[in-house]
Structures are given as structure tokens and as C-alpha cells.
A = this chain, B = another copy of it.
């Protein structure tokens, strides 16, 4: 309820910006120039195409190389989702990637490595905000997963109402945080439990499992597999089924299903941030992340 009230209470785009920057700004909110709502908006990292004839927006992520969720990118996602949320003519949102082979590689590790606690807190607040906005969206949301989707990429998919994945065995999806020596927080866990149940989640989170599309379908992590070139068109067709349902009945039902999970983070946001910052700034965790980054560099070379 708090969340919805919060969403409704916002009069413009300043909401998310002020909130995301509040850790730094000590309460002073800089004035923000707000572009007028357009049917199609393009920022550096996000391309949104809204088709008024279908009431459906397609949001394409284009943050090279692998749509890593940096603070800046998360902020852009939040702004764009909020903009669509407030446009009552937009009833459905499809999220997909404009980058080859990857939906999103998840949270940007560079945002968690060698950063001040303040910066880490700001980053984590943006991760929370992205999840809150998407998981509580009044729009029908579909993830068109046209590439690999580990960690935060998987979380983003899990916030949607429906998940269609490219049937390419090279792609994987899963909350694999433990592999990096870090831990998925309770609301990542809650979101996964809500989707695939407790036991699959326990196994997946402990072992940091990344599933092939076929395995992901089997455990219910995604709802449908289609050939790679049909991911978006299938998402469009599927969306028309969702939009055949009266909005108010669907929205009340969605809120009834998700509200307890959303409320749990809403009433624990600050402690969750403190918990994250305390954990991520530990010497041992920083060392793990450093080693992981080294490994990534070597792989590229």
C-alpha cells in the first residue's frame, strides 16, 4: 500500500531522481529538467517504443557491452518505467535487450568494487527502486529474454508477469550470486520463491545455479521458449492476451499476489541497504570481487 501510495503521489519524474540521489544530496533535491512525455523516447542506454494503437511499450536495453546494471543505467530504467506507468494509455510493457547474446549481465560489479559506503548505498537503493517499480507495476509486463540473464538480469526477468526466452542452449539464466562469493538478498529470494517455489530456490541460490533455457522452463523460471528470432513477436502476441483482461481486475489481482513481498522490502529498505553496504565493503568480499574482475579481464584478453 505504501508503495502504491508512493507511486501515485509522485507528480513528475523528480520522484525517482530525488529518491535515488537523496543519500548524497542530504535532502536538497536539485531541480530536474523533465522532457515532455513522448510516444518514443530514447536515452543513451534505453530505447522505448510505445505504440498507442496496441497500448504496448517495448523497452530495449542498450548499455554496451552487456547491459550491466550500473547506477546510471538503473536510474534510466526507473525513469522510463515510471514515465510509462503514469501514462494511462500504456497498458503493457515488454522488456528486451538490444545487445547481442545477452539480456542483462546483472548488477555492475564495478559499482560494488572499491567504492565508498555512501556510493554503495546509493547504488543499492537504485537496485531496490528498479525492483519495486517493476514488481509492482500496474502494467502487464513481459520479459522477452533474448540472451543470457544471470543475477540481476534474472531478477529483472522475474519481476515481469510472463517470461519468454530464446531457445538457445548457449544462454543461461539464474541467480548465481554465491558463485561470486556474494549473496542474493531476501527480496531476490522472495521473488524467486514466488516463481519456482521454496526447494528449487534453496538449491539454486546455495549452488548459484545457472539454468539452460530447457532447464529454466522445466523448473518454471521461464514460461515459454521460442526460436531466437521469434522472442519479441511472441511477446507481442502474448501481450494481447494479457490486455484482453479488464485492467482493474487484473491489477487488483496482481497487487493481491505481490503486495506482501513488496511490503516486506518497503518496511526494511534501510536495514537492507545497511546490510548490503556492510557486507559488500568487507575486505574478504572485496577480495573475491577483485579476483572475479581479474578473471573477466583475462577472459577478454
Which residues of chain B are near A18, meaning CB under 8 Å? none
Q: Do the beta carbons of A178 and B249 come within 8 Å of each other?
A: yes
Q: Do the beta carbons of A194 and B202 come within 8 Å of each other?
A: yes
Instruction: Assess whether A88 is interfacial by the CB under 8 Å rule.
Output: no
Instruction: Assess whether A284 is interfacial by the CB under 8 Å rule.
Output: yes
* Number of copies of this chain that the complex holds: 3
The A interface is mostly helix, strand or loop, or mixed, namely: helix
Interface size class of A (residues with CB under 8 A): 35 or more
Known: A189-B256, A252-B183. A245 touches B207 (CB 8 A): yes
Instruction: Assess whether A246 is interfacial by the CB under 8 Å rule.
Output: yes
A228 to chain B, nearest CB (A): 24
Known: A178-B246, A178-B249. A194 touches B205 (CB 8 A): no
Write the A200-216 contact mask toward B (1 if CB under 8 angstroms, else 0). 01110111100000000
Q: Which of B161, B198, B202, B250 is the one whose CB lies under 8 Å from A197?
A: B198
Which residues of chain B are near A220, meaning CB under 8 Å? 199
How distant is the Cα of A177 from the Cα of B249 in the complex, in angstroms? Answer: 8
Most buried by B among A177, A197, A206, A246: A206
Known: A186-B256, A198-B257, A199-B195. A246 touches B181 (CB 8 A): yes
Known: A241-B207, A242-B207. A178 touches B253 (CB 8 A): yes
User: Can you name 18 extra interface pairs (CB under 8 A) apart from A183-B252, A203-B223?
Assistant: A162-B203, A177-B249, A178-B249, A178-B250, A184-B253, A193-B198, A194-B199, A195-B198, A197-B197, A197-B198, A197-B199, A202-B257, A202-B258, A205-B257, A206-B250, A207-B245, A207-B250, A248-B284
